[in-house]
Amino acid sequence: MALTDVIGRGWWQAAGVIALGFCGVARAEETGVLFGHFEGRVMIRKTTSSRVELPAAGRALEPGEIVITGDRACVELRVGESGLWRVGRRAVLVVQPGIGRLTAGAAIVRVPVESGWRVESERGVVRLGRGLWMVQAVDNEGLKLVCLDGPADVEAWGEGAAGPGDAAERARLRLRPGELVFLKPGGRQFGPVVTIYLEELLGTSRLVNGFPEPLTEIRRLRNLGMIQREQLKGVTAALVAGASDDDGFEVAVPKAP
Q: What is the pTM of this model?
A: 0.80
CA distance 149 to 172: 17
In this predicted structure, what is the pLDDT of residue 207?
A: 96
Instruction: Assess contact for 170 and 157: CB atoms under 8 A.
Output: yes
Residue 103 phi, psi dihedral angles, 5° rounding: -110, 115
In this predicted structure, what is the pLDDT of residue 217?
A: 95
Q: What are the CA-CA distances from residue 10 to residues 4, 133, 161 (Å)?
A: 10, 27, 21
Strand order across the 74-79 sheet: 33-39, 74-79, 83-87, 106-111, 131-137, 143-149, 179-183, 194-196, 240-241
Q: What is the mean pLDDT of each run of 10 residues along the chain (257 residues)?
A: 41 42 42 89 89 93 88 92 90 66 83 84 82 86 89 87 60 95 87 93 94 95 94 63 46 40
Bridge partners (DSSP) of residue 65 are 46, 95
CA atoms within 13 A on the CB side of 75: 29
CA distance 138 to 16: 6
How far does Cα 203 stand from its chain's mean position? 18
CA distance 189 to 192: 10
The closest of 114, 136, 124 to 165, measured between CA atoms, is 124
Contacts of 11 (CB under 8 A, 6+ apart): 92, 103, 104
CA distance 113 to 128: 10
Domain boundaries, the chain: 3-191
Evaluated on CA atoms 14, 15, 16, 18, the torsion sign reads negative
In this predicted structure, what is the pLDDT of residue 219?
A: 96
CA distance 51 to 45: 6
In this predicted structure, what is the pLDDT of residue 231?
A: 87
CA atoms within 13 A on the CB side of 118: 22
Query: H/E element holding 84?
Result: strand 83-87
pLDDT (tens digit per residue) in 27-76: 434 458 899 999 999 999 987 888 899 999 999 998 888 889 999 999 99
In this predicted structure, what is the pLDDT of residue 165?
A: 56
